[in-house]
Structure 1
């Protein structure tokens, strides 16, 4: 029998392989395949996660809010609503962009869990060991587990 399981690349995968090697099957009976991502999808993810483009959008949003408040206050001040609105717009943009940048600058350097690839594990075993091996794979957080007869 052949048992196949898929995992996220993690410590649970290593623990499952260690348990399988120590208790059930020899190392030669286990095949581990690391799956590749589609390169075009990973390039698109990188563009949408850019901290600068999101910071620009947040800066514009806060600039708009500051412009409204600045123009409103400008009716009572000497420079007038237009000049006060422009000054408030510039100040609002830098405040919004700065806050967003400083809150998210550490997140840009840490790879997200979605970038980790999946791993497929194939195990050749005897029929009487199949249920025990499937239980071990499920215990260590396998995403999917399949069973194939190789008569």
Structure 2
């Protein structure tokens, strides 16, 4: 049986490995893989194949609606009339909303995007007998593993 777990790269990873060795798991049965973390910042705009769930047009559409109503209302007093001023208001409202959303995503949420959640930096794979699987899993959870999974190999 194999037990997979992910850890942040800290002292708890070393303590978990040491505890496993003290409980009878040999060094040859423990495999540790460091992960390469993303160096580039995440893409700001979505593609056809990937979406992060944020949109840039939500505030723009709301402001376009509001500004078009205001533009059409005051357009009766101006030379071009309510239709043109409604369209101008919609365009300006959408543009203002898009700029507001772009500013919040690029400037304000940039720091939050980097700090959000824990990041796996190390994968620990432990090959053990089925009777030790529960013990290994408990040890890994006790040493602050981010995630743990058990896989039954074909030989057992």
Q: Secondary structure at the match of 1:91?
A: helix
Q: TM-score, normalised by structure 1?
A: 0.60
Moved over 3 A (4+): 13-17, 32-35, 106-114, 116-121, 124-132, 145-151
Q: Which runs of 5+ in 2 are unaligned?
A: 36-46
Aligned 8 A contact 1:58 1:97 in 2: yes
Aligned partner of 1:44 in structure 2 is 49
Aligned 8 A contact 1:33 1:121 in 2: yes
Shift in Å at residue 136 of structure 1?
1.5
Task: Describe the superposition over 1:31-81 as per-residue Cα deviations: whole angstroms up to 9, x where unpaired.
Answer: 24579xxxxxx9822xx3497xx3245424422331122112323x23331
Aligned partner of 2:94 in structure 1 is 93
Shift in Å at residue 146 of structure 1?
4.6
Aligned partner of 2:30 in structure 1 is 30
Distance 1:49 1:149 in 2: 38
Q: TM-score, normalised by structure 2?
A: 0.58
RMSD: 4.1
How many pairs does the alignment contain? 136
Shift in Å at residue 95 of structure 1?
1.2
Q: Secondary structure at the match of 1:55?
A: coil
Q: Secondary structure at the match of 1:85?
A: helix
Of the structure 1 ranges 19-28 and 124-133, higher mean CA displacement relative to structure 2 is found in 124-133
Distance 2:154 2:87 in 1: 73
Of the structure 1 ranges 87-96 and 54-63, higher mean CA displacement relative to structure 2 is found in 54-63
Aligned 8 A contact 1:6 1:118 in 2: no
Larger helix proportion of the pair: 1
Task: Describe the superposition over 1:109-146 as per-residue Cα deviations: whole angstroms up to 9, x where unpaired.
Answer: 846979x7797532134777554322112232424235
Q: Secondary structure at the match of 2:78?
A: coil
Aligned partner of 1:144 in structure 2 is 149
Q: Does 1:135 align with 2:131?
A: no
